[in-house]
Amino acid sequence: MTATLAARPPAPTIGFPNLLRSELTKLRSVRSTWWTAVFAALATIAVSVIICVQWRSNLLSGKDSLDGFDATLTSLNGLYLAQIAAGTLGVLVMSSEYGTGMIRATMAAVPQRRAVLAAKGVVFAGCTLLVGELLSFAGFAIGQAILSGAHASASLTDADALRATVGGGLYLTAVGLLGFGLGALIRHTAGALSAFFGILFASTVVVDLLPTSWRNALIDYMPANAGSQILTTVPTHSALGPWAGLGVLCGYAAAAIAVATVLITRRDV
C-alpha cells in the first residue's frame, strides 16, 4: 500500500473555479440563504404594492399632484427593506463560518485565505445581483401596473427609469457586499450585524444631529443616502449624481473588504 500512496501523480493546484463551485454549494445548502431571499422578495413586492396603491388613490383623488413625482423610485421603495436581507446574508456568508467553526475545515482545505475570501465574495455578489435584478424589475413592473391606473406610470423605454431599475439590483449587491466585508472583518455575527446597521442607518441619524454646516457637508455621503441616488429619476438635493452616489456606497463596501483582505492572512483562524 505504501507504493500506491507514493505513486500518486503530482496534484495540480486548486483552481479558482473549484473554489467558486465550493462556495456556491455552501451558499445554496444553508437555509438562511433561502430565508433572506424570500424575505427580500416579499419585502420588495409588498412595499411596492402598498406604496403604489396609496399613490394611485392620492393621485386619483387629487390629494397629491404629479409635480416632482418619481414613479420609478416609488415602485422601488421595497428595496430599502430588502437591503436588510442582502446585508444580513452578506454578513452571514463569513461570520457563520467563524461562528460554527466551519472556517477551520474551509481554511484547512484551502490555505490560500484571500482566494477563499474572493471566491465567497464573487459567488455572493453574483447571486445577490441576479436576485436583486429580478426583484428590482418585478417591483418596477408591479408598481407601474398599479400607477398606470392613475396615468402616472414610468416605462423602461425611459433611460433614467431603466438605469434606476437596473441600479436597484446593483444597490442591493453593494449593500450586501458592505455586509460581507464587515462579516469578514468582524467575524462575529452579532457584532458584524450591529456594525452593518450602524453604518447603513445610524450613521445618517448621527450626522443629522451635527451642526447644520457639518451635516450638510456629510449627509449626502452617508452610504444609504449616497447609494440610493441610483434609484432616482427626478433630480434630488443630493450633491451626488446616481452613479457617483452608487460609487460612494461601493467605496464603503470596498474599504471593509480591503481591510478584511489584509487581516485575513495576519490573524489566526
Partner 1 sequence: MIEARALSKYYGRTKAVDGLTFEVRPGIVTGFLGPNGAGKSTTMRLIMGLDEPSSGTVLVNGRRYAALRRPLHEVGAVLETGALHGGRSAYNHLLCLAQSNGIGRGRVAEVLELVGLTEVARRRAGAFSLGMRQRLGLAAALLGDPPVLLCDEPVNGLDPEGILWIRTLLRRLAAEGRTVFVSSHLMSEMALTADHLIVVGRGRLVADASTTEIIDRASTKSVVVRTPARGRLREALRAAGADVQSEPDALIVRGLAQESVGDLAARHGIAIHELHTRQPSLEEAFMKLTQDSVDFRTELVGAR
State the Cα–Cα distance between residues 135 and 111, nearest whole angstrom.
Answer: 36
Pick 17 or 68: Cβ nearer partner 1:
17
DSSP state of 136: H
Under the binding rule (CB under 8 A), the answer on residue 32 touching partner 1 is yes
Stretch of 101-109, 127-135, 188-196, 209-217 contacting partner 1, by CB under 8 A: 101-109
Residue of the chain from 7, 11, 159, 209 that contacts partner 1 (CB under 8 A): 11
State the Cα–Cα distance between residues 240 and 156, nearest whole angstrom.
Answer: 23
Interior angle at CA 71, CA 68 and CA 73, nearest 5: 95
Query: Within 10 Å of residue 45's Cβ, how many Cβ atoms?
Result: 17
Give the interface size with partner 1 as a residue count (CB under 8 A): 38
Q: In 3-state terms, what secondary structure has residue 50?
A: helix
Under the binding rule (CB under 8 A), the answer on residue 2 touching partner 1 is yes
Q: Which residues of 206-245 are buried (b: 16+ CB within 10 A; e: fewer)?
A: ebeeeeeeeeeebbbbbbbbbbbbbbbbeebebebebeeb
Stretch of 107-115, 185-193, 218-226, 234-242 contacting partner 1, by CB under 8 A: 107-115
Under the binding rule (CB under 8 A), the answer on residue 198 touching partner 1 is no
Under the binding rule (CB under 8 A), the answer on residue 269 touching partner 1 is yes
Under the binding rule (CB under 8 A), the answer on residue 106 touching partner 1 is yes
Stretch of 4-12, 73-81, 199-207, 224-232 contacting partner 1, by CB under 8 A: 4-12
Give the chain's end-to-end CA distance (angstroms, integer).
Answer: 35
Q: What are the strands, taking DSSP E only, across the chain?
A: none
Pick 18 or 261: Cβ nearer partner 1:
18
Pick 14 or 244: Cβ nearer partner 1:
14
Under the binding rule (CB under 8 A), the answer on residue 107 touching partner 1 is yes
Q: Which residues make up the interface to partner 1 (CB under 8 A)?
A: 1-2, 5-6, 8, 10-15, 18-19, 21-23, 25-26, 29-32, 96-97, 100-102, 104-112, 268-269
